[in-house]
Amino acid sequence: MTAVAEQTGAWLAEFTGLATVAPWAQELRETAFQRFAKLGFPTTHDEEWRFTNVAPIARASFKRGLAAGQVTGLTGGAQAGTLEEARQHLGRLAAFDQNAFVALNTAFLENVVAIRIPHGAVIQEPIQITYNGVAGHATHPRLLIVVGADAHCTIVESYTGAGNYFTNAVTEIVAGDRAVVDHYKIQRESLEAFHVATLAAQLGRSANFVSHSISLGGALVRNDVNVVLSEGTEATINGLYIVNGAQHIDNHTSIDHAKPHGTSHELYKGILDDQARAVFNGRIIVRQDAQKTDSKQTNKNLVLSDDAVIDTKPELQIWADDVRCTHGATIGQLDAESLFYLQSRGIGKQQARSLLTYAFAQDIVDRIKVPALKDSLERILFEKFHEHREK
């Protein structure tokens, strides 16, 4: 057997054990599985995975778990859709021809959470979808959110769990013209878990899309965010990753300005301690058509130890000429002068360090518009940095 076949063999057994679904969905699954079997898991020779070795996932064997997303907040016209309703969108945005994990997710299509926001509906309450990982299991959460034109909504995806398991999630969001979508993904997986997730969003004309990806947990984490803008679309793609111990987090984003007058703001901030490793790769595409694009990308990293490693890279593909694109990345330590200033006022060194670390994350937390979410995140971060100083 070839290496690829060895890896995919175990998944084949699980795949054949799946309950059958409607013929069109079955066909999609099979195509996806074949694609997965052909691609195999990526290796570090693959440019997209250069810094992230997924061998621990490829080597592990997991039982097939049930990706049962708990959905709350379906009010004011927001509706749960069926697999049948999802048909026209599923797999259209999250392409699986190049991404083995998306292919695997699509092959195990089951329990799709499909949510539809009708045209013009303004949904006040956040719609929350929560997944809970169970030791020894692999799950493939699949989320599809279709937001009608002029509709407003807030989506919160959360991932938690206990033990060693594998979450392989795919979220597709279709936002209609002038839709306003506020999206959050809160990844608090167990520190032994593997988490691979792709968010693919297609944004309509003059739509306003804000997405925050907060990554705190997981042993090995990879997030892909791929958004495609239309004319006059405004997209804000922010992220915060906080890793320590031997955690590995890889954030790959791709912002595709397909049409003119689009605006994108991207701010990813990372805090690394111990032997943690982080990767940020920010691709910005400005198509030939996309004149008057305004795009700004920033990646800032705070490195608290000597052994933590960050690889950060912007990747600009600009085919239009009348555009404004800026990008910048920083990697720094806690500012010695600020530390001394706090200490000179009686604040202990460790407390001063946690205060400044917390302050670094503050501007991302401040942008969270769901009060309960913001509060809980503030509490989590406070505890995290407090814990850290106690150790």
Q: Which residues bind other proteins (CB under 8 A)?
A: 335-338, 340-349, 351-352, 355-356, 358-363
Q: Least distance from C-beta 279 to other proteins, angstroms?
A: 25
Q: Least distance from C-beta 157 to other proteins, angstroms?
A: 26
CB 215 within 8 A of CB 186: no
Which distant-in-sequence residues (6+ apart) come within 8 Å of 17 by Cβ? 64
Q: Which is nearer to other proteins, 54 or 352 (CB)?
A: 352
Which distant-in-sequence residues (6+ apart) come within 8 Å of 87 by Cβ? 24, 25
Q: Least distance from C-beta 309 to other proteins, angstroms?
A: 24
CB 154 within 8 A of CB 128: no
Q: Least distance from C-beta 277 to other proteins, angstroms?
A: 25
Q: Least distance from C-beta 335 to other proteins, angstroms?
A: 8
Q: Which is nearer to other proteins, 83 or 271 (CB)?
A: 271
Q: Least distance from C-beta 263 to other proteins, angstroms?
A: 24
Q: Which is nearer to other proteins, 322 or 363 (CB)?
A: 363
Q: Least distance from C-beta 339 to other proteins, angstroms?
A: 9
Other beta carbons less than 10 A from residue 377's beta carbon: 22
Q: Which is nearer to other proteins, 16 or 344 (CB)?
A: 344
Q: Which is nearer to other proteins, 63 or 349 (CB)?
A: 349
Could you tell me the CA-to-CA distances from 193 to 53, 144, 188 in Å, in that order? 15, 24, 10
Q: Which is nearer to other proteins, 326 or 362 (CB)?
A: 362
Q: Which is nearer to other proteins, 27 or 363 (CB)?
A: 363
User: Can you tell me the distance from the alpha carbon of 94 to that of 96, in angstroms, rounded to the nearest whole number?
Assistant: 6
User: Can you tell me the distance from the alpha carbon of 152 to that of 283, in angstroms, rounded to the nearest whole number?
Assistant: 27
Sign of CA dihedral 339, 343, 348, 354: negative
